[in-house]
Amino acid sequence: MSRNRTSLMGIARECLKGQRVLLAALVALIAASVAAEVFPPFIVGRVVDHNIKGGTFDRLWFWATVYLAAVFGSRLVTFAQTYLTAVIGQKALYRLRSMMADHLVRLPALYYDRTPAGDITSRLTSDVEQVNALFTTGVIAVATDLFKITGVLSAMFAIDTSLALLAMASLPFVYGVTEYFRRKIRQSQRVSRVHMGAINTYLQDSWRGFKLLKQFNAEDRFLDRFEAPQRLYLDSTNRVALFNAYFPGVQKSIEAVTTALVVYFAATRLASDQALSLGAIVAFSQLITRLFSPVQEISQEFQAFQQAMAGVERVTGLLSEEADEEPPGVSPATPVTAIAPPASGSEAADAPAATGLARSGVLRFDHVDFGYAGGVEVLHDIDLAVGKGERIVIVGRTGAGKTSMISLAAGLYRPWHGIVRLLGEDPAALSPSERRRVIGVVPQTVHMLEGTVQENITLGDPTISGEQVMDVCNKVGLDAALSGLPQGLETRLGRGGHQLSHGQNQLLCLARAMVCSPPMLLLDEPTSGIDSETERAIAETLVTSKDVTLVIVSHRPTSFAWIDRIVVVGDGRIIQQGTREELENAPGWYASMQEMRRLGWTA
């Protein structure tokens, strides 16, 4: 991620890009609002000196009309400014959401391993809304109020320099109080946002497994555990509310003291100073109110402003996460053949070292070490080559590292040491569109979207035709299930794919992986938790997939009698590999496991 998107000013530039005309119009409206703010007091002062003090009604209706027109114009300018500010803010919010979504899809899998889903949701929703407040009731509103303060002070100096200096003497007190409350409010808001993220995380994790809570009558324990983050959030928001309640009252007190002092000193000078008139004192007293009015508005805006700053910190934290690198030299439109192993002869001799790895297999692990967050290594010195069209199954106990090998082959992670190559390329460096046409993945957990059958297979890829979808459904044996759906491929599956059984959802995941006809299929426990008929359908589909390299993770290698090779993994290392006959006749883990199965152990 570019550094200009990981700071407040960088985000502002990105989000306000293309809005120069609107921003220029907003600046003009701000200038007009300042003029409208200082003009009415001068009209009142003129009326006091020439009409009320002089006892004449000459042109009084005219000046009254001018005063009403000035007030009405001020409100009209305020309306236009408020509307334009909202338009600019919403455009900026739209661009920020798009920018965050684009960055999220490029983040590595490790980010999602260490970041709770609720925290990500909170950053994309409530934190982004707080950033919107920064553009609307934050920076633009505060800038407007600061311009008003400058305009009012200029008008004060135009009336009387000494009284203006007296009024300005209160500003250091205003600044000191504002700075104190700014620090306190921002600190409390930051803590509040963290607690809100914890609440979202807890709710998302709990609702995902709420059926389990009901089955085991654990609702009360859920409510008890929910009290802790709720209480922390309540305490932090109460602290924010306390500071927000104090702030305006202190500001009002400073305004009252300043007004009293100005009126007192002006009154003592009125009798002796002919340059200072009663109308000027009245106009000056109204300007004092207009001086402190924007300050009061700033104080009311501080809550939203500080919330926005806390949200900005969390948004910039997400945008500063290092994204996956773009694939060097491979564009999304690059055909699959462009990353095939190079030809032999002089071209092969000149190829880089990675190409040499491709000669020994379509998929190659070259002394790979790997681990997740926390620095714990889960794979140690994995050295494995899978040839074109070869079909292997990886077996081992739970936690042995089988799924980690699949994840590396799929390009979801990068190894700590060693090299992983697919057709001579780093799978983690492939573009998303190219990766799907090279690798088909069936994960251990079935994931269904709230869309139609076709949308769940294509995942929104417009290059996949309806004919391709229907062909792959026929191939995996999903056609019978589709005929029973009211709208076939256009049937909406609902949350979790409840329109289909678990086995049918597994077949749909297989169709999703195969619809682009990739040369490599990676399947993580494809027969887990399904009936024998669905298991047989999956096996038949895989057997008939010619020229497709298969890497399958399974606890039951006996389900795949047609496999070319079995790789046994234990404690993150390859401890055995060979054909079924070779492993059954050699002492080791596989032979022991098969013996236990023959004795009745079927786990």
* pLDDT recorded at residue 336: 40
Say if CB 57 and CB 291 are below 8 A apart. no
* pLDDT recorded at residue 334: 39
The residues pairing with 522 across neighbouring beta strands, listed in sequence order, are 441, 551
| Most trustworthy range by pLDDT among 355-369, 445-459, 545-559 | 445-459
Q: How far apart are CA 551 and CA 574, in angstroms?
A: 15
Neighbour-count burial for 240-256, b at 16+ CB within 10 Å, e otherwise: beebbeebeebbeebbe
Tell me whether residue 403 is exposed, middle or buried, using C-beta atoms within 10 angstroms of its C-beta: 0 to 12, 13 to 18, 19 or more.
middle
Top pLDDT among 391 and 227 is at 391
- Mapping DSSP onto H, E and C, the string for 318-357 reads HHCCCCCCCCCCCCCCCCHHHHCCCCCCHHHHHCCHHHHH
Per-residue DSSP letter, 24: H
A 10 A CB-CB count for 348 gives: 14
Please determine, for residue 331, whether its predicted confidence score (pLDDT) is greater than 70: no
Q: How far apart are CA 433 and CA 439, in angstroms?
A: 10
Please determine, for residue 360, whether its predicted confidence score (pLDDT) is greater than 50: no
Start-to-end Cα distance in the chain: 47
Neighbour-count burial for 542-565, b at 16+ CB within 10 Å, e otherwise: beebeebbbbbbbeebebbeebeb
Across residues 395-399, what is the average pLDDT?
87
Edge-first strand listing for the sheet containing 377-386: 377-386, 363-371, 417-422
Q: How far apart are CA 420 and CA 367, in angstroms?
A: 9
Helix axes 278-319, 20-47, angle to 10 degrees: 160
* pLDDT recorded at residue 274: 60
Superfamily of domain 3-319 in CATH is ABC transporter type 1, transmembrane domain (1.20.1560.10)
* pLDDT recorded at residue 103: 86
Q: Note the pTM of the prediction, 2 decimals.
A: 0.61
pLDDT digits (tens, 9 = 90+) for 9-53: 777 777 788 888 998 998 899 888 888 888 888 888 888 877 777
* pLDDT recorded at residue 5: 59
Please determine, for residue 342, whether its predicted confidence score (pLDDT) is greater than 60: no
Residue 248 to residues 61, 244, 303, Cα–Cα distance (Å):
38, 7, 11
pLDDT digits (tens, 9 = 90+) for 548-573: 899 999 876 666 778 899 999 999 99
DSSP output for 232-263: HHHHHHHHHHHHHHHHHHHHHHHHHHHHHHHH
Kindly provide the residue ranges of all beta strands, DSSP E only, lying in 351-426, ordered along the sequence: 363-371, 377-386, 391-395, 417-422
Superfamily of domain 337-598 in CATH is P-loop containing nucleotide triphosphate hydrolases (3.40.50.300)
Please count the residues of the chain: 603
Mean pLDDT, rounded, of the chain: 80
User: 363: closest CA among 163, 519, 507?
Assistant: 519
Top pLDDT among 521 and 266 is at 521
A 10 A CB-CB count for 306 gives: 28
User: 17: closest CA among 99, 83, 133, 80?
Assistant: 99
Tell me whether residue 397 is exposed, middle or buried, using C-beta atoms within 10 angstroms of its C-beta: 0 to 12, 13 to 18, 19 or more.
middle
The residues pairing with 422 across neighbouring beta strands, listed in sequence order, are 363, 425
Q: How far apart are CA 224 and CA 310, in angstroms?
A: 29
Question: What percentage of the chain has pLDDT greater than the value 70?
Answer: 84
Please determine, for residue 208, whether its predicted confidence score (pLDDT) is greater than 60: yes
* pLDDT recorded at residue 217: 67
Q: How far apart are CA 164 and CA 570, in angstroms?
A: 82
* pLDDT recorded at residue 539: 80
Q: How far apart are CA 221 and CA 448, in angstroms?
A: 29
Residue 355 to residues 77, 334, 359, Cα–Cα distance (Å):
68, 18, 7
User: 189: closest CA among 310, 304, 318?
Assistant: 310
Every domain of the chain and the residues it spans:
3-319, 337-598
CA-based torsion, 46, 47, 51, 53: positive or negative? negative
User: 451: closest CA among 420, 487, 418, 427?
Assistant: 487
CA-based torsion, 23, 24, 29, 30: positive or negative? positive
pLDDT digits (tens, 9 = 90+) for 95-142: 888 888 888 888 888 788 778 877 888 888 878 877 777 777 667 777
Please determine, for residue 92, whether its predicted confidence score (pLDDT) is greater than 50: yes
Residue 211 to residues 216, 219, 435, Cα–Cα distance (Å):
9, 10, 36
Q: How far apart are CA 50 and CA 58, in angstroms?
A: 8
Task: Give the type of residue at 504.
Answer: Q
Say if CB 390 and CB 549 are below 8 A apart. yes
Q: How far apart are CA 93 and CA 128, in angstroms?
A: 7
Say if CB 82 and CB 26 are below 8 A apart. no
User: 109: closest CA among 324, 303, 406?
Assistant: 324
Neighbour-count burial for 259-272, b at 16+ CB within 10 Å, e otherwise: bebbeeebeeeeee
Residue 384's φ and ψ, nearest 5 degrees, are -150, 135
Tell me whether residue 301 is exposed, middle or buried, using C-beta atoms within 10 angstroms of its C-beta: 0 to 12, 13 to 18, 19 or more.
buried
Query: What confidence category does residue 385 fall into, taking pLDDT thresholds of 50, 70 and 90?
Result: very high
* pLDDT recorded at residue 329: 37
| Most trustworthy range by pLDDT among 315-324, 348-357, 546-555 | 546-555
Q: How far apart are CA 127 and CA 93, in angstroms?
A: 11
Say if CB 114 and CB 317 are below 8 A apart. no
- Mapping DSSP onto H, E and C, the string for 150-164 reads HHHHHHHHHHCHHHH
